[in-house]
């Protein structure tokens, strides 16, 4: 199957040389592959891990065409070399900052230690800011790799094989890169630095993840399951957060410079950055976890007698009644959700994001967002809808300043849902942005989560949710599929196309109208 994906990638890319590296693993001294991260137009952060303390040498190569083929391979002479050491302090990982590279260019790299050598890596630098370049990338997240009596609990991360076959210019690994609180985790859960690191090592044991990260650059972001489910920066235990973040940064090719300073956030340094990809797109990566206010006071106000948390507090009365809920949520619930003093991003990150959005002259402003911003009411507490003040401020800022072609690419929900983004579909139905949510790599899908949480009436709740999504006018929904997004920016046509793709690499179909495909083209 790996070989088939490699062949397909070389066939489908018309008039383009294939540059995917071999999936041959490294030697035993480099057991976890390689990765390139936080790629810019002139550099990248290159990562690897050794099996024990070691001194390693990194070599970066320009590409050449393999004789008598259209296959890009490394040249004979490195254009960049560096040495580094690995130690237990960083879980035997190392990162090397590489600079001085050409924009929109393919590079290969490899780490060595005497006779030991790593897997061959590849990455593509971003186009120059004034370059009207086409490119493609993939988005995926939510990967629980814990085993159950040997086999993995869900799958072998097969969607990532198809994501790799698309030969993407980068991979947005958008949160929940591990599941520290998985029901399949070791007894007692994952709570210490060593355990968080072991969870990352468990996930990197999947060849499809290693092979994708070796084949392209990665923009990785922490969400909640790197620490524990639904945590917020305001109340998280500082030591546990520090350990989860430490393990994440050990195992992901992150650049430590891509943070802001905000003492109101957990750790004081939310991971935020933006990167131009030529004239056509600018990428904005948000940290929607470490600065957010606690959900607890809101949930306390939004609890019905019983007690039971209100399932759809922001929904209009007719939808609540149709779903079998009281006509109105508990008194004060909606006001608590919309309290402007509560925040999802924190003051520093929110100001930076707004300023950078306003300054962007790219045609498409692509926001890599861990949590959904579109409106569909069901249990909104942990996503943008549950932080109504920040949500309204950001969307009104986009509208007031006439910032066009803002596209949110989102994970976390474990479902594929694509729709326009409104302040409120009932009272203010003017589209402001677009959002495409991607389903999971390997964990319970949204549909199965509902069925498992509500065994007595789960099917009825799924049907009610489907009705709400229809009323909201969603363009496509697939609530029960492992998936990834393929995003293609076509500079010649002036378009951005998003397609949600399943475990077979094919575009998913809408749950309600199977003839409708989950693909969207924005522009020209």
Q: Specify the pTM.
A: 0.95
Tally of CA atoms within 13 A in the half-sphere of 98 that contains its CB: 36
d(CA 164, CA 170): 10
CB 466 within 8 A of CB 512: yes
Residue range 416-429: average pLDDT? 96
> What ranges do the domains of the chain cover?
1-125, 300-341
Above pLDDT 70, what percent of the chain? Answer: 97
Q: What is the enclosing helix (H) or strand (E) of 521?
A: strand 519-522
Q: What are the residues whose beta carbons fall under 8 Å from the beta carbon of 18, sequence distance 6 or more? A: 9, 10, 70, 71, 72, 167
When pLDDT is averaged across residues 271-275 and rounded to a whole number, the result is 98
The residue-averaged pLDDT of 281-295 equals 98
Averaged over 56-61, what is the pLDDT? 98
pLDDT for 322: 87
In the predicted model, is pLDDT for residue 315 greater than 80?
yes
> How large is the C-alpha radius of gyration of the chain?
22
Question: Is the pLDDT score of 2 beyond 80?
Answer: no
pLDDT at 19: 83
Residue 264's pLDDT band, with cuts at 50, 70 and 90, is very high
Fold of the CATH domain 1-125 = Immunoglobulin-like (2.60.40)
Residue 294 contacts by C-beta under 8 Å, 6 or more apart in sequence?
232, 234, 235
- Share above pLDDT 90 across residues of the chain, in percent, rounded to a whole number: 93
Average pLDDT for residues 16-33, to the nearest whole number? 90
Mean pLDDT of the chain: 95
pLDDT on residue 10: 52
4 pLDDT above the threshold of 60: no
pLDDT, tens only, 80-96: 999 999 999 999 999 99
Q: What is the mean pLDDT of residues 290-305?
A: 97
Give residue 68's pLDDT: 81
Q: Which residues contact 505 (CB under 8 A, 6 or more apart)?
A: 5, 8, 159, 162, 165
Per-residue pLDDT, averaged over 483-494, amounts to 98
Angle at 388 between CA 518 and CA 470, to 5 degrees: 30
Contact 47, 252 (CB under 8 A): yes
476-478/416-421 β-pairing: antiparallel
User: Among 346, 371, 235, 328, which Cα is nearest to 291's?
Assistant: 346
pLDDT of residue 12: 40
């Amino acid at each position: 199957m790996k070989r088939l994906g490699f062949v397909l990638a070389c066939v489908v890319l018309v008039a383009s040389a294939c540059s995917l590296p071999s999936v041959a693993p490294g030697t035993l001294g480099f057991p976890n592959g390689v990765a390139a991260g936080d790629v810019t137009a002139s550099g990248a952060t290159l990562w690897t891990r050794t099996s024990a303390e070691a001194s390693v040498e990194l070599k970066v190569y320009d590409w050449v065409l393999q004789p008598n083929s259209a296959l890009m391979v490394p040249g004979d002479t490195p254009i960049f070399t560096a040495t580094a050491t690995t130690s237990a302090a960083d879980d035997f990982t190392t990162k090397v900052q590489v600079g001085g590279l050409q924009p929109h260019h393919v590079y290969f790299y490899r780490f060595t230690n005497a006779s030991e050598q790593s897997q061959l890596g590849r990455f593509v630098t971003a186009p120059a800011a004034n370059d009207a370049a086409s490119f493609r990338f993939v988005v995926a997240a939510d990967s629980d790799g814990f085993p159950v009596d040997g086999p993995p609990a869900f799958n072998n991360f097969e969607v990532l094989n198809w994501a790799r076959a698309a030969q993407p210019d980068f991979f947005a690994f958008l949160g929940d890169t591990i599941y520290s609180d998985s029901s399949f985790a070791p007894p007692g859960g994952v709570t210490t630095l060593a355990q968080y690191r072991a969870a990352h090592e468990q996930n990197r044991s999947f060849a499809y993840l290693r092979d994708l990260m070796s084949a392209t650059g990665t923009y990785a972001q922490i969400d909640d399951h790197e620490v524990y489910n639904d945590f917020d920066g305001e109340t998280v235990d500082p030591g546990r957060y520090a350990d989860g973040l430490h393990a994440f940064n050990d195992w992901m090719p992150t650049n430590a410079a891509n943070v802001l300073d905000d003492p109101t956030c957990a750790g004081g340094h939310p991971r935020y950055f933006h990167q131009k990809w030529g004239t056509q797109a600018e990428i904005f990566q948000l940290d929607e976890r470490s600065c957010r206010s606690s959900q607890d006071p809101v949930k306390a106000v939004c609890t019905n007698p019983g007690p039971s948390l209100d399932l759809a507090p922001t929904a209009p009365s007719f939808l609540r009644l149709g779903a079998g809920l009281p006509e109105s949520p508990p008194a004060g619930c909606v006001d608590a959700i919309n309290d402007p003093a509560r925040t999802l991003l924190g003051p520093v990150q929110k100001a930076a994001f707004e300023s950078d959005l306003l300054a962007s002259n790219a045609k498409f402003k692509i926001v890599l967002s861990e949590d959904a911003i579109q409106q569909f009411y069901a249990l909104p507490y942990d996503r943008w809808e549950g932080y109504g003040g920040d949500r309204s401020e950001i969307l009104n800022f986009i509208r007031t300043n006439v910032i066009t072609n803002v596209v949110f690419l989102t994970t976390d929900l474990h479902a594929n849902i694509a729709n326009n983004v409104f302040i409120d579909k009932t009272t203010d139905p003017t589209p402001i942005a677009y959002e495409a949510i991607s389903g999971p790599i390997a964990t319970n899908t949204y549909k199965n989560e509902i069925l498992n949480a509500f065994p007595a009436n789960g099917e009825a709740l799924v049907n009610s949710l489907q009705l709400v999504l229809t009323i909201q006018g969603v363009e496509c929904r697939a609530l029960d599929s492992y998936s990834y997004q393929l995003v293609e920016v076509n500079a010649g046509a002036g378009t951005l196309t998003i397609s949600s793709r399943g475990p077979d690499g094919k575009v998913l179909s809408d749950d309600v109208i199977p003839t409708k495909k989950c693909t969207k083209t924005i522009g020209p």
